[in-house]
Amino acid sequence: MLKNPFSNNSLLKQYQDLVSQINILEDTFEQLTDSELRAKSLTLKKQYEATQELDPLIAESFAITREASRRTLGLRHFDVQLIGGLVLNDNKIAEMKTGEGKTLVATLPASLNAITNKGVHIVTVNDYLANRDQVSMGQVYRFLGLNTGLIQEGMSTDERKKNYGADITYVTNYEVTFDFLRDNMALNPTDLVLRPFNYCIIDEVDSILIDEAQTPLIISNNTQTPIEKYIVAAEITEYLELNTHYKIDEKNKNVVLTVEGSKQIEQILKVQDLYDPRDPWIPYIINALKANALYFNNVHYIVQNNRIIIVDEFTGRIMPDRRWGDGLHQAVEAKENLPIRAKTETVAAITYQNFFLLYPKLSGMTGTGKTAEIEFEKIYNLAVNPIPTARPVQRKDLPDLIYKDQFSKWNAIAKTCNQVHETGQPILVGTTTVEKSEMLAQLLSEYNLSYQILNAKPENVRRESEIVAQAGKKGSITIATNMAGRGTDIILGGNITFKIQKKLYDILTLAKNFKLSKQTNILESSILSQFEGSSQRFLSVLLSLLNDDNFMKLSDLEILKLLQENDRISIPVISYQSSIQFLINDLITFNKKYQTQENKIVKNLGGLYIIGTERNDSRRVDNQLRGRCGRQGDPGVSRFFLSLDDNLLRLFGGPQIQNFMQTQLADDAPLESDLITKSLDSAQERVEERAYQQRKNLFDYDDVLNKQRNIVYYERKQILENTNTLSIKKNILAYGEQIVTDLLLELKENKFYREKTLSLIENLLGRNLLLTQLKDADSLLNTYDFYELKLYLFEEFWLTYQSKMEELSVYGTGLTENLERSIILLNTDRIWREHLQKMTLLRESVGWRGYGQRNPLYEYKQDAFYMFETREKLLRHLVIYDLLRASIL
């Protein structure tokens, strides 16, 4: 039963009945054997089949899953976790603090919704987490007779299809969205990998639906790129002066040319008009200036293997597959003197915003959702419900310290690290950029402090989870760019599983290399001495591995995968899985005592000390950093160090604050002031509001395209999955008849189109009509009444079509049907692709039109509507035209 401290919580009231029902069932289910429990799970499926109702099954399903988890993982869902699960099942966002066990919470609604046989997707932010969660939580599902799938980068179509076919599939946001786009370009029903969407749980939902919501995911083809122009534009920026020739609008991340600037450039280039639509220079110049003034190496991007790799501002992660659009990426490449890669043409695109709205039932989990509540409600119709913690929060958030300038601030941070480190309390410092993390690292070196650094640089990313897992060890200092390592638990005293995996990895790979150089004797004794006190069984398993020639032939990577219980290990390696697992478990038990001790020591030191070095653009990101400590009732401290010239204060703090502070602040003495903290809070809210408005604006624009996409994808799917060839034929015939009817209608309305109409039809059919001989004689043509003419033209079309089909049918049966389907699909895609380009241009041009009295969004919608309307007509025409000219080579 739930007790205080949440007795007044309305959420609790709402779910109290269900939680009690689940708890009451616990005793009964505890008594059941494993197979009886599994049989219960099967009964639920049958019940659902009969009634098609999920709600009456909630309590039983949750109770079964909880019992299965207790038996397989040894974890029993807390009551607050049950509430989390209920919230997720109610299409809402469960806000649960870090360490509250969201991974386990998801098993409850996932098992329940898997009962429907329609599939459940659990979406995580990276492949590592998808793999980890699938492997661990999969044990619960399998116990219940449900199967799980896992999608990873690089998987083949067949593997994907199989994994999406599972009851519960773990997948990243990126992979599932691309699979959706690819499915909608498939020419063959067997290439489809996804089933119709059913239920989705998004982990770290704010990161996906808010931070990443705006950048569309794009599948594209290369197009012609005027490389020379990018290079010249980059060179020209050297001859331009800030404020004389151009101005920077930092708040909106924009650059504007002055009149003088335009003149200067026109002179250098010797062109009349930068804006000349036949030879436009302006986009290249603006992008080159933006690249110089607003996009910085090691902040917004890093250079790796001669390429520009974007760094995500919110998470500090690199995004190797993304490129900035509209020529900005090329401009940055030109600035860095790198090879300029071709611009691309979009063939399919969708934003996460619109993608996730396709699920009939959507839900999400995060540690930090409340401050973005309005956005979740308005855009996704998702309410945010904060779930009480299982144990009371003990974290202390100390008031911000404000310094006069960057110099004093960073020195104070280094000094604090030094002082705190002397006590042994572990420290985690969050920085906003790669550059700053490296700068702080240098300062710490001056204090002779050792530290681990975690930023978007690839050499660090590889060790990401390991570094974060050890961040809670006594005396450790970890510097991490925002939210790196999110999803990995920071355990006070260090994470022994990681430590053990690493120790075994070092030893096994070392042994392998020694073996290669045939120095085995020295080796064995030195290895065994490292495991003094271990059980006999442990030593003999280890020795048998060391003496197994086949094992010694494995690559380092294969050994690593074995140790990490990676699901994708190759067949010959699988036989070693149980030995390795035994070694790990034995060492864990052996080291548990040591771990508990360490954990206690660090708790007594006050837990993890979190240092924020700058307020971020949103309170959510600050809270994510703070949330890294104080998990599951652990002690912990957080403090932000700020400076007057931090971006947020500088851009949004307002002049009074600046004046006030300049007079109040001594050189290195900080200020703790409510006024400043309040002003920062409101500055942050303003930035959040602005970012929200921008996303909302994008959403409103994208809405039009989204509706159109839904229509096109729906119609396309009808054709693709239609196995009834007769009905495709009917479609084709209807297309032809509709073209004729449309043309005749035009003819009827305006007699001057007579000749044109006929020649259009002749052009379409690819042959002359009998009527042509009569076409000059108006009177004769008039003797045909409308109906008769139509019938005549229909017959001509049927005839042409039929003879084409006969001509093609000699190449084999079934060929014409496939051909017809492919021609419809290919043309649907072609028209959609062209529509996408037109919509992009339209989007740019309405921006300009907005200067008049007109509402740009309204204009955009109108034009988009007309552009879309012509689509069907065009499709019919292209399909018939192509089909009647088809030949087999």
Bridge partners, residue 402, by sequence: 642, 671
Please say which residue, 64 or 350, places its beta carbon nearer to ligand ADP. Answer: 64
- For position 98 contacting ligand ADP by CB under 6 A, the verdict is yes
813 is in an annotated binding site: no
Residue 575's identity, in one-letter code, is S
- For position 388 contacting ligand ADP by CB under 6 A, the verdict is no
Please say which residue, 565 or 882, places its beta carbon nearer to ligand ADP. Answer: 565
Give the Cα separation of 674 and 680 in Å (integer).
10
Distances (CA, A) of 820 to 146, 198, 726, 795, 827: 40, 32, 11, 20, 11
Return the DSSP state at 628.
Answer: T
Please say which residue, 389 or 706, places its beta carbon nearer to ligand ADP. Answer: 389
Any residues with CB less than 8 A from the CB of 414 and at least 6 apart, and which? 440, 443, 444, 446, 447
Among 100, 614, 622, 820, binds ligand ADP (CB under 6 A): 100
Bridge partners, residue 350, by sequence: 217
Among 13, 39, 51, 76, binds ligand ADP (CB under 6 A): 76
Give the other-Cβ count within 10 Å of 340's Cβ: 20
Any residues with CB less than 8 A from the CB of 398 and at least 6 apart, and which? 637, 638, 639
Please say which residue, 80 or 546, places its beta carbon nearer to ligand ADP. Answer: 80
Any residues with CB less than 8 A from the CB of 28 and at least 6 apart, and which? none
Please say which residue, 204 or 212, places its beta carbon nearer to ligand ADP. Answer: 204
Shortest Å, Cβ 65 to ligand ADP: 12
- For position 615 contacting ligand ADP by CB under 6 A, the verdict is no
Please say which residue, 80 or 231, places its beta carbon nearer to ligand ADP. Answer: 80
**Sign of the alpha-carbon torsion through 89, 90, 94, 100:** negative
Shortest Å, Cβ 636 to ligand ADP: 14
Return the DSSP state at 323.
Answer: -
326 torsion bin: left (phi>0), alpha (psi -120 to 50), beta (else): left
Residue keyed to tokens 């079309």: 797
Shortest Å, Cβ 390 to ligand ADP: 8
Shortest Å, Cβ 19 to ligand ADP: 14
- For position 104 contacting ligand ADP by CB under 6 A, the verdict is yes
Report the Cα 95 to chain-centroid distance in Å: 19
Among 103, 113, 432, 497, binds ligand ADP (CB under 6 A): 103
- For position 99 contacting ligand ADP by CB under 6 A, the verdict is yes
Please say which residue, 91 or 624, places its beta carbon nearer to ligand ADP. Answer: 624
533 torsion bin: left (phi>0), alpha (psi -120 to 50), beta (else): left
Shortest Å, Cβ 137 to ligand ADP: 9
Stretch that binds ligand ADP, among 73-81, 636-644, 688-696, 785-793 (CB under 6 A): 73-81
Shortest Å, Cβ 391 to ligand ADP: 11
Give the Cα separation of 273 and 283 in Å (integer).
13
- For position 75 contacting ligand ADP by CB under 6 A, the verdict is yes
Shortest Å, Cβ 121 to ligand ADP: 18
Stretch that binds ligand ADP, among 97-105, 149-157, 242-250, 728-736 (CB under 6 A): 97-105
- For position 96 contacting ligand ADP by CB under 6 A, the verdict is yes
With vertex at residue 81, the alpha carbon angle to CA 77 and CA 83, rounded to the nearest 5 degrees, is 130
- For position 204 contacting ligand ADP by CB under 6 A, the verdict is no
Shortest Å, Cβ 76 to ligand ADP: 6
Give the Cα separation of 57 and 829 in Å (integer).
43
Classified as helix, coil or strand, 375 is helix
Helix (H) or strand (E) segment spanning residue 417: helix 406-423
Binding track, positions 443-482, relative to ligand ADP; x by CB under 6 A: ----------------------------------------
Q: Tokens at residue 205, please?
A: 């939902």
Shortest Å, Cβ 562 to ligand ADP: 22
Please say which residue, 75 or 357, places its beta carbon nearer to ligand ADP. Answer: 75
Longest CA span, the chain:
111
Give the Cα separation of 369 and 249 in Å (integer).
30
Residues 476-495 close enough to bind ligand ADP by CB under 6 A: 489
100 is in an annotated binding site: yes
Shortest Å, Cβ 101 to ligand ADP: 2
67 is in an annotated binding site: no
Shortest Å, Cβ 632 to ligand ADP: 6
Stretch that binds ligand ADP, among 94-102, 530-538, 674-682, 858-866 (CB under 6 A): 94-102
Please say which residue, 98 or 623, places its beta carbon nearer to ligand ADP. Answer: 98
Give the interface size with ligand ADP as a residue count (CB under 6 A): 14
Residue 400, burial from CB neighbour count under 10 angstroms (0-12, 13-18, 19+):
buried
- For position 77 contacting ligand ADP by CB under 6 A, the verdict is yes
Please say which residue, 101 or 216, places its beta carbon nearer to ligand ADP. Answer: 101
Give the Cα separation of 655 and 661 in Å (integer).
10
101 is in an annotated binding site: yes
102 is in an annotated binding site: yes
Residues 166-195 close enough to bind ligand ADP by CB under 6 A: none
Torsion of CA 436, 307, 125, 627, to 10 degrees: 0
Any residues with CB less than 8 A from the CB of 602 and at least 6 apart, and which? 424, 425, 426, 472, 473, 474, 492, 493, 608
Are residues 345 and 833 in contact, defined by beta-carbon separation less than 8 angstroms?
Answer: yes
Stretch that binds ligand ADP, among 74-82, 287-295, 411-419, 753-761 (CB under 6 A): 74-82
Residue 339, burial from CB neighbour count under 10 angstroms (0-12, 13-18, 19+):
exposed
Among 38, 45, 92, 102, binds ligand ADP (CB under 6 A): 102
Please say which residue, 497 or 618, places its beta carbon nearer to ligand ADP. Answer: 497
Among 22, 59, 95, 101, binds ligand ADP (CB under 6 A): 101
Stretch that binds ligand ADP, among 69-77, 246-254, 722-730, 860-868 (CB under 6 A): 69-77
Please say which residue, 106 or 444, places its beta carbon nearer to ligand ADP. Answer: 106
| Residue with nearest beta carbon to ligand ADP | 101
Residue 221, burial from CB neighbour count under 10 angstroms (0-12, 13-18, 19+):
exposed
489 is in an annotated binding site: yes
Please say which residue, 78 or 352, places its beta carbon nearer to ligand ADP. Answer: 78
Binding track, positions 694-723, relative to ligand ADP; x by CB under 6 A: ------------------------------
Residues 400-419 close enough to bind ligand ADP by CB under 6 A: none
Please say which residue, 372 or 387, places its beta carbon nearer to ligand ADP. Answer: 387
478 is in an annotated binding site: no
Please say which residue, 110 or 308, places its beta carbon nearer to ligand ADP. Answer: 110
Give the Cα separation of 653 and 647 in Å (integer).
9
- As a whole number of Å, the end-to-end CA separation of the chain is 75
Give the Cα separation of 401 and 409 in Å (integer).
9
- For position 211 contacting ligand ADP by CB under 6 A, the verdict is no
Return the DSSP state at 308.
Answer: E
- For position 607 contacting ligand ADP by CB under 6 A, the verdict is no
758: number of CA atoms within 13 Å, CB side? 17
Are residues 658 and 641 in contact, defined by beta-carbon separation less than 8 angstroms?
Answer: no
Torsion of CA 56, 58, 63, 65, to 10 degrees: 130
- For position 67 contacting ligand ADP by CB under 6 A, the verdict is no
- For position 421 contacting ligand ADP by CB under 6 A, the verdict is no
The total number of residues written for the chain in this structure: 889
Residues annotated within the binding site are 81, 99-103, 489
Residues annotated within the binding site for ATP are 81, 99-103, 489
* Site residues for ligand ADP per CB under 6 A: 75-78, 81, 96, 98-104, 489
